[in-house]
Structure 1
């Protein structure tokens, strides 16, 4: 059994491009990276499935070693459906974040920096805000106060 070098190189390029896009801060690039990694995984399953053979439902007199296993194709079809569902969910998240913030790029906030341990003064400010209730974090921030009479 020998896999085509072109398929292996294509799979490697898809994985490399997908991982590169997944590491970006733009959610659209993350979605494209996820799609590339999903397609590369489908190609990997196809490569390791083995050589092509006869269909498993054939007439008498065919040896089992000449038949092809249909399981890899079933796994690829399942992976395509799952990738489509997750991609639709990610696309909905991207649209929602764009509607709320009008931005596609995820920014670092003070809590992320505090968890990273870069500055302990942020932890003190966050605890002070939590005690007096001034640090209320809502989806609508200042817009809710403007609409109330």
Structure 2
């Protein structure tokens, strides 16, 4: 799954659509080159969402039940609802709160920094969101620009 790893919206328009992608807001690349995204660990004994953050690759995430970031918690960090909306092996489903292994850190972890700047994104048409993300990317410069992680091999010619 690319959830929380690659932004599903921010990509150039035209012939390069889908070929150039952006990392999601909280994603990082580990020492082996795999993209990881953070999750809050759920204590299995107490069924309490902890502040411990674990970064998981897509393969690691596949074996865990991950609750959504907007799941309702009480003041002690436990799930309020008996059935929690979650992801398991790439499918959105509901499972008992006792089955949760992790919880998303933020609802914005699925999109890039530029896309997260779009107000009321969930109400936008997908084409408008794409155009808005590209305009935000041009309008908000990076503080520390970096070279891309993956190149074509013809970079030295350009």
With the length of structure 1 as denominator, give the TM-score of the two structures.
Answer: 0.23
With the length of structure 2 as denominator, give the TM-score of the two structures.
Answer: 0.22
Structure number with larger C-alpha Rg: 1
Higher strand share: 2
Higher helix share: 1
